[in-house]
Every structure is written in structure tokens, then in C-alpha cells.
Structure 1
Amino acid sequence: MKLPMDTYRILIVEDHREVSHLLRTSLETLEHPLEVVEIPSGEEAILEASRHRVDLLVADYRLPGISGIELMHKVRQYHPQARVILITGLADPKVRKQVAEAGADSFFLKPVPIADFLDAVERHLGLVKTLLPPEPVDREPVLQEEEARTIADLIIALRQELGAQAVVLLDDKGQVVAQAGALPDKAIETSLFDLLMIVASAGQKVGRLIGQKAPDSWHVFVGKGYDLIFAPLGSNHALLIAGEKLADTSTILDTVAVFSAARPGIEQALGAIVLPAPPPASAEVEVEKEKPAEKAEEAGEEDLEPLFKAQKKIKAEDADSFWEQVAEKHGSAPTKPDVLTYEQARQLGLTPDAKP
């Protein structure tokens, strides 16, 4: 069956059924036209790839008979543009290095963090993110597209001016909002973004200690093959730039100057996207919620009056019958049907000072 051009085909190759089912179920929550196919072995996946289109391969690193990396190369022989996400239960650094060098787009350790996994799927397929809060329903769709393009254009322009390998705009949860280019080491994206959010949080705390009114800090990381420059944008976003020699003594001042010049425009574009505010809490609402409980208490005491006036010795079956009638009338049984207050016991003649 030929799929519509706007439908993406995802192949999940995992020999553990529960893991495969979890990934499929999570993908089905995305609001995109996706066809998800589950296959338990690498050999069957190769046969499937030879017959049908594959836009994204999600495969276990260790499969019976063939590795996830071997499968990735086989699938790309049929579909060179296919994106690949590998998952594994092995935390061996050698495995991470092997996956990174093999050319996988993302790599996750089990248990797979579902939010990060879905974010990677959307980014690799070039889909609009659905993990962000929904936009207000009364806004014009054209305006939303223009705002998204504005942010994307600014990010692309910044990357070109700096000659960077990648520029990534992150929200305060470490999720990618916009991205131009690709990080040199895709296998560490998820861990890197999580750690940078910790850096951002620490930077904001330091800023408050020294009297900053708004987050304003720079974090420079000099690596072997490339450098990272990380800075907050307002209180809810941050910008990451990756590239060669960005932090060299001969270029760092120019890099910061270009970054600083682009910063206000990106912040302004982000500020134009107004998220819906939660409805304000109302004292009246809280009072109304308490009223039914008060009425229930009063009604329960009124129903006890006939019991107080009854004979002093109450049979167990009569008490059970009484509580059943109360539960039927008020919708729920008393929390302690076998316990009476001291006043109730006194009226029933059950206290030491009660007259026979």
C-alpha cells in the first residue's frame, strides 16, 4: 500500500516486546501522520526495508543475529536518507563511541526517556514539536508560522555569521525549540542538554546572589574537536552554539559580540509567542467546593436522631442497616461506621455516667 507523501514510516526493531510496545504507544501520542511498524528481528527488518519506505529506524543495539549498527547500514542501502535512533541497555562508553562513529542520529540508554525520545523523533523527521504548550485557539495560524520562521531565520543567520556547526535554542526543560545545523556528537545530545539545564539553573542562582535582575551569564566550554558557548535567553530559554575554535583567544571576543548582537532579536521573537495563562484561582470556587461536604455532615447528624431516640441496646444488624441507608442517601459511607462520638454514646446510655 502506497502511503501519502506527508505520512512518515517508522520501523521499530526490538526483540523485547514490552519495549517495542512502549515505543509504539508513545509514538501514537504524537499529532502527526505516522505509520509505525514493529519487527522483532534484524533479518525481518531488512526484508521490510527492501519492500517498503523507511523514514526512521528505531533499533536495539543488540539484536539476535545482527547488530543495530549493521542493520542501520543495511537499511540505508535501500533508503540513504533514513534517520536512525539506536537504543541499548549497555552503558559501556565503548558502545557509545561506536554508535557515534557509525552515524546514528540519536542514541538512548534503557529505560528510554520517552519525552526525549519523542523530541528526537520530531526533530529528525523535521516535524513541528508537539511537546510544547499549545498555542491559544484564537490566534491566527499564519501569525504562528511567521513567528516560527522568524526564530528559525535568526538562528540560521547567527550560525552562518559565526561559522558554527550548530546553533540550538532550548527551553527550560532542555527540549529543542529550534535548531540550525547538527552537533558534532549527536550521541550525547540528550545528556548534554540535561547537564546544560543544570548549568543554567546554577547560573541564575549566582546571578541573583550578585543582584542580577534578569539572567545574564556566559558559559564557555573548550573541547578537543569543538567548543561550546552557552547563554540564557530570558528566564525560560537558552542558546547553545557549537563549533571549532569559537573560544580561541583570537576569536572569543568576536564570538561574544556577534552572539550579543543577535540575542535581543531572538528574545523579542520568543516574547511574541504568548502562551495561554491558566485561569486565576477564585475564592468563590473554593467555598463552593466546601459546601457539599458541610451539607453532608449536617445531613448525617440529622439521620442519627432516630437512632439516639431508639432503644439503648442496639443490635449489630440494626446498626449495619442504618449505615447502609445513610450511604444510599448521601452517596458514600461514613469513614468510620463502627465508631460513635462520646456525645452519641452518652445519648445511647453507653457511657459510665449514663443512668440505667
Structure 2
Amino acid sequence: MDISVVIPLLNEDESLKELHDWIATVMQSNRYLYEIIFIDDGSTDSSWSVISQLSANNNSVKGIRFQKNYGKSQALDAGFERATGKVVITMDADLQDNPEEIPDLYNLIIDKDFDLISGWKKKRYDNVFTKNIPSKLFNAAARKTSGLKLHDFNCGLKAYKNQVIKTVKVSGEMHRYIPVLAKNEGFTKIGEQVVQHQARKYGETKFGMDRFVNGFLDLITISFLSKFGKRPMHFFGLWGSFMFLFGTTSAFYIGAFKLYKMYSGAKTILVTDNPWFFIALTSMILGTLLFLAGFIGELIIKTKSDEKHYTIKEKLNF
């Protein structure tokens, strides 16, 4: 199998047949062996009926239907698990990604030996204030935090070596950061390709402004996980030990100063009347809790299982 095209979707019944025909034309004209994997992420329209009809007419079309809406990351994870192509292409189902880009992306992976190529929608047709400006701010923060010099982390059109998508685990809302996850797994040959962005032809966008808020929160999460995800004790244990040591030293100083005052005959006050007593006590408690958080994190990592966070209702052609 040359290419697997993985397409997550939610309520895109109007665009699916046109998208399928366009992809099939590109694949056949380039004589690629291919599969198209549609992942229906809990659509409430007739998307699954359209996918069923497409799969009945074309054995290269495969479908996965979730029990309910779980999110794009979970949809991609389900598609990645079942993709068999040497090169895996991801794209959105709204016809804003151009299938004509596929041969160039494929060649960059095969001929130039890139691990991952991320699309860059240099010219966009989205609303300037609700998408373009927030997207620029988001991408700038992602570049600064991750060290990857990509212009468009959130572009749905990407190409991967099969080994990359079998190694990287996408969960939560981390689909925006697959290049970062790949880098953290040791896939360092990551490139970028300018791709054509097209205005939405049918329906409305499924993403609002909240995706950028969630995106920044996820960015903080993945920044932490990339450094301490496999060794949480190195973060929590370090700060816990520091705070406990600070609290213990402060408590020892308060006690020693109290004894000195007593034996010197000077007037003393109750230890609890000294504000440093409460600072020391709070520091020791927080230090203990942080250390325990790191210890529990290590236990979870050692014992966690790779359980799926989605339920598949139906499958086609698998």
C-alpha cells in the first residue's frame, strides 16, 4: 500500500462524495495503491450513510464510526492504528484541503526521506479576526515553546511515514501538536510545505474561538510532558524537596531563635505569633505534597495501560 488518507469528520455529508471523487482521481492518475479511511466522529447528519455507499462502490474506502463525538484527536488515533500505507496523509473533510497536494507530499516523504511534512496554509480564506489573527498568535507561541519552526501547526493536511503514526499516540486535544509529539519520539526530520487553502464550500466550521483557548492550554501541557512526562519526579520531587528543605530550615531557625531568647532572659513571644512559623509549616506541607505527586506520577507511568478513550460503533472494509 502506497498511501493511506485519514480523514476525521463531523457532519460533513455534503462534501464527502466530492472529496472522495477528487482523491480517487488523484490516486488513479498517479497509479498509487491507496486507501481512504473516513472516521465519523459521532455525526448526526447522513455522513455515515454516504460513507457506507462510497465503501460499497470502492473497496479502497474504509469507514470507522464512533459511538458518539469524542474529538479529532481520538478520530485520528483510530485512523492511525488501522492505516497500512507507507505514507499516511491526513486532511480535513470540508474540502478546504486540496487533494492535488498529495503527490508532492508523498514524494517529500519517499524521495527526500522526511519523517513528517506539515502543510502551511500561507494564504487563508478564513475570517481574519476569529481565525487568522488568533492562529498567528497560537503558532508563534507553539514555535517558541516547542522549538519547531513551523508556520502552521494546526493545518490538517500533513504527511507522515507510517512508522511515525504507529509510534506517536494522539489523545485529548493533542492533534495540533503531532509534529511536537513526533519530535519528542526522536523523529527529527520534520519539514513544511506551502499548500493551497480553499474557502469552505458546504456547511459551517465545527470549531469556535474556544479551540484557541484549549490550544494554548494544551501547549502548556505538552511543553511540560515533553520535558517531564516520563520522569515526573524530576519536576515534582525537585520542587517538593526544595520547599520541604526551606520549611525545615525556617522551622529550625525559629526554634533556635526561641531557645536563644529564653536562655538569654529576653522577652519572648509564642512561636505561633511569629508569621514565619506559618510560612515554614506551609512550605513543609506543600513540599511533602509535591514529592508525593511526583511519586504517584512515577507509579502511574509504570502501571498505566494503553486503553482507548473512544468506542467504535461500526467499521467498513476492515
Q: Give the structure-2-normalised TM-score.
A: 0.27
- Higher Cα Rg, which structure: 1
Q: Report 1 or 2 for greater relative contact order, CA contacts < 8 Å, sequence distance ≥ 6.
A: 2
Q: Give the structure-1-normalised TM-score.
A: 0.24
